[in-house]
Amino acid sequence: MKRISFKKSPFAQNVFILLTGSLISQVLPFLMLPILQKYFYKPADFGILTVFISMCEIFSSIACLKMEFAIVVQRTIRNAINTAFAAMKIAGFMTLFSLLIVVLFKNQLSEYYNEPKLANYLFLLPIYVFLVGTNDVLSYWFNRKKKFKTISSSKVVQTSFAETLKLTLGYLRANYVGLLLGRLMGFFFSGCYLVWKFMKEDRRTLQLITHKESNQLVKANKQYVIFTTPSVFVNSLINLIYLNLFISHFGKDIAGLLGVSMTYLSAGFGVISVSFSQVFFSKVSEIIESHHLLQVYKQFAKQLALFALGILALIYLIPTKLVVYLLGNEWNQLMEVARIMAVWLSISFISSSLSFIYIRLGRQKEMLLFDCLHLLLILIGFFTARLIDTSLTAALWGFSISQSVYYLFAIFIAIYFIKKSKQV
Helix and strand numbers, DSSP H then E, in the chain: 18, 0
**Which region among 60-74, 173-187, 261-275 has the lowest average model confidence (pLDDT)?**
261-275
Torsion sign, CA atoms 238, 115, 166, 315: negative
Nearest to 395 by CA among 261, 293, 258: 258
3-class state of residue 39 by DSSP: helix
Distance CA 124, CA 323 (A): 33
Q: Which residues, at least 6 apart from 127, have a Cβ–Cβ distance to it below 8 Å?
A: 95, 184
Torsion sign, CA atoms 321, 325, 326, 328: positive
Provide the whole-model pTM. 0.77
Average pLDDT, stretch 24-53?
Answer: 79
Query: In degrees, to the nearest 5, what angle opens at C-alpha 407 toward C-alphas 401 and 409?
Result: 105
pLDDT by residue (tens digit) across 298-321? 888 888 898 889 888 988 998 888
- Quickly list DSSP for 1-15: -PPP-TTTSHHHHHH
More confident of the two residues 318 and 252: 318
Split at pLDDT 50, 70, 90, the class of 393 is: very high
pLDDT by residue (tens digit) across 144-165? 888 878 888 898 899 889 989 9
Q: Where are the domains of the chain?
A: 10-420
pLDDT by residue (tens digit) across 409-418? 999 998 888 8
Neighbours of 384 (CB within 10 A): 14
3-state secondary structure 153-166: HHHHHHHHHHHHHH
- Quickly list DSSP for 202-241: HGGGGGG--HHHHHHHHHHTHHIIIIIHHHHHHHHHHHHH
Phi, psi for residue 423 in degrees, rounded to 5: -145, 135
Split at pLDDT 50, 70, 90, the class of 247 is: confident
Average pLDDT, stretch 253-274?
Answer: 74
Res. 385: pLDDT tops 60: yes
The percent of residues above 70 in pLDDT, for the chain, comes to 89
Measured between alpha carbons, how far is residue 20 from residues 30, 145, 230 in Å? 15, 19, 32
Q: What is the pLDDT of residue 38?
A: 81
Mean pLDDT of the chain: 84
Distance CA 107, CA 124 (A): 14
Res. 227: pLDDT tops 60: yes
3-class state of residue 423 by DSSP: strand
pLDDT by residue (tens digit) across 104-146? 888 887 777 777 777 778 889 999 999 999 999 999 999 888 8
